[in-house]
């Protein structure tokens, strides 16, 4: 039977933890040699915690949280979350327009004076288009060589996500995590070392997000004071679709 996956309510977080991957292992030692032996015990999965203020948004945070509690029925339903920045969120906001671009949908105008000819499609982009090629850096780590980025800027920090769109016109891309801080030179070029390899070349968005499905492990009971704000503390653990016999059915009741 399929499980309903609800979109997370449109509320602001007052605090959050990164998506922390838990990878349980079995550790043992050889009786004869004392050698340490390690093996995976369970499938790695990510966990996160969120704090939502009762007065967030239009002072409707508490109502959204209580509705979510009812919809999830104590853990029967699941929820889709979008990751938050690992590093300071204000840096992410300030840099977003300077290190990301997006495809623009082009509509043919109803104008008889304009003649359109068949040919290769031309992608239209808005924002800062940063070009990237997947490489292996001098130390042997996977990396991206980028150009056309803002000059003399800390363009990526450890833990940031980068998404490579190859070719440039691709609507979806592949994502990797940044290993070390990268700074551009006076021409706007840099190498960004990654924790996993990407392939190809195209455009890259830096400071992207990812999305996944989680079960809500707990939600605190939030007592409303006579004065001031109050908060809900939520904890989540990742769930994979192949763990659910009927798969996922996505629902957004907030729109």
**Number of domains forming the structure of the chain:** 2
- 30 located within any domain: no
Which of 128, 141, 126 is CA-nearest to residue 182? 141
Is position 109 within any domain?
no
Radius of gyration of the chain (CA): 23
Query: Would residue 69 count as lying in a domain?
Result: yes
Report if pTM > 0.85.
Answer: no
pLDDT of residue 108: 63
Same-domain status, 13 and 73: yes
E strands, 2-129, are 3-7, 13-16, 20-22, 25-29, 36-40, 45-53, 78-82, 101-103, 125-127
| Residue numbers in the chain where pLDDT is lower than 70 | 24-26, 30-32, 38-41, 106-117
Q: What is the DSSP letter of 83?
A: -
Whether 117 maps to a domain, the answer reads: no
- Any idea what the CATH number is for the domain that residue 158 is in? 2.40.30
Report pLDDT digits (tens) over 221-246.
Answer: 989 999 999 999 999 999 999 999 88
């Amino acid at each position: 039977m399929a499980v309903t996956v609800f979109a997370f309510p449109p509320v602001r977080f007052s605090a959050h933890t990164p998506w922390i991957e838990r990878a349980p292992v079995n550790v043992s030692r050889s009786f004869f040699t004392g050698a340490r032996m390690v093996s995976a015990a369970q499938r790695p999965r990510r966990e996160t915690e969120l704090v939502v203020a009762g007065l967030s948004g239009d002072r409707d945070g508490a109502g959204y949280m209580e509705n979510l509690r009812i919809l999830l029925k104590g853990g029967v339903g699941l929820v889709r979350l979008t990751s938050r920045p690992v590093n300071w969120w204000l840096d992410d906001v300030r840099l977003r327009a300077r290190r990301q671009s997006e495809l623009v949908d082009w509509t043919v105008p109803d104008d008889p004076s304009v003649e359109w000819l068949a040919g290769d499609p031309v992608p239209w982009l808005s924002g800062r288009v940063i070009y990237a090629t997947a490489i292996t850096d001098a130390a042997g780590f996977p990396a991206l060589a980028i150009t056309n980025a803002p000059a003399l800027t800390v363009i990526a920090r450890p833990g940031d996500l980068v998404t490579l769109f190859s070719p440039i016109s691709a609507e979806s891309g592949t994502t990797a995590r940044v290993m070390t801080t990268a700074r551009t030179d006076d021409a706007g070029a840099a190498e960004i070392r990654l924790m996993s390899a990407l392939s190809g070349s195209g455009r890259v968005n830096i400071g992207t997000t990812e999305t996944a499905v989680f079960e809500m492990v707990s939600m605190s009971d939030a007592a409303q004071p006579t004065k001031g704000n109050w908060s809900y503390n939520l904890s989540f653990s990742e769930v994979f679709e192949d763990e659910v016999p009927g798969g996922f059915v996505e629902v957004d009741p907030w729109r």
